[in-house]
Structure 1
Amino acid sequence: MISRSNAKAADEPLAEINITPLVDVMLVLVVILLVMAPMLTRTLHIDLPKVAAGAPEPRDHAVTVSLDAHGKLAIDDREIAPDQLEPTLRRIATLSDRTVVNLRSDQSQSFGAVANLLAKISHAGIAHVAVVTANAEPRN
């Protein structure tokens, strides 16, 4: 018990809150949260729907980059070597800062191949990429 030097104050009850148990409980809750947080994050498998999309807007500075099923690259239907893609796109990008690349890829290509192609397009200095898809048939 805490002693006081004043005898008159000894008759009054001591009204101080001990916050040590409160801090202990809060620290335990924080530890539980930190342990449980990684377990709550998980990946989701998402099947993206096929939708009927409208025709894209015509653009003045659009270039089409195609990747076929055999891995051959083409810019505006002209075949190009993979090592020449980035320099060619860089030259096209210098003509206009509003250049848009329409990316066409065969569905049999892996995501990694498409991601590498997107990285090359980005390294060439092109910020706007549109992915071209086939129109899905509307369901009845």
Structure 2
Amino acid sequence: MGAGVKRSTGGRRHRPMGEINVTPFVDVMLVLLIVFMVTAPLLTVGVEVDLPKTKAGAINADAAPLVVSIKADGSLYLQEAAVDAEVLIPRLKAISNANPDVRIFVRGDQAVTYGDVLGVMGRIQAAGFEKVALVAQLPEAK
């Protein structure tokens, strides 16, 4: 054997290192920070939906929403009464006592074009009613 070369003996072990290497931990945390910073703005983007708010207690009969229906032939109905397009907004204001917080549901037959439904919704919103929502029927489970 050469001079200055030490060989470890079979029964002798090195002492374990008492320090924790935190570099991999910091690397993982920085990667997670970047991932969360990129995905957080994407999670907040969504479709605005006017969901009704509920409170515990009895349901007030006056809080029932008004329903505007558009049949396949384009005729308009307010609740169950047929109305002309020119009379719809004045009737809504009269029924709701010009309260812009009244909920109005718009129901459109599936044969009615999307533009016609949006036209009715636009006139209702232009009249000052803020809580206008579409009504759809959920598909039946097969």
TM interval, short-chain normalised? 0.5 to 0.7
When the two structures are aligned, how many residues end up with a matched partner? 84
1:66 aligns with 2:69: yes
| TM-score, scaled relative to structure 1 | 0.53
Task: Give, in angstroms, the shift of residue 87 of structure 1.
Answer: 1.3
Q: Considering Cα pairs closer than 8 Å and 6+ residues apart, tell me whether 1 or 2 has the greater RCO.
A: 1
Task: Give, in angstroms, the shift of residue 88 of structure 1.
Answer: 1.3
Task: Give, in angstroms, the shift of residue 80 of structure 1.
Answer: 0.4
Task: Give, in angstroms, the shift of residue 120 of structure 1.
Answer: 1.1
* CA-atom RMSD in angstroms: 2.3
- 2:115 & 2:105 partners in 1: Cα distance? 18
- 1:73 & 1:125 partners in 2: Cα distance? 19
The gaps in structure 1 that reach 5 residues or longer are 1-56
The gaps in structure 2 that reach 5 residues or longer are 1-53
**Misfit runs of 4+, over 6 Å:** none
Report 1:4-83 matches (<5 A).
60-83=63-86
Task: Give, in angstroms, the shift of residue 132 of structure 1.
Answer: 1.0
| TM-score, scaled relative to structure 2 | 0.52
Which of 113, 128, 133 in structure 2 is aligned with 1:130?
133
Instruction: State the structure with more CA Rg.
Output: 2
Checking the alignment, whether the CA contact within 8 Å between 2:105 and 2:133 is kept in structure 1 is: yes
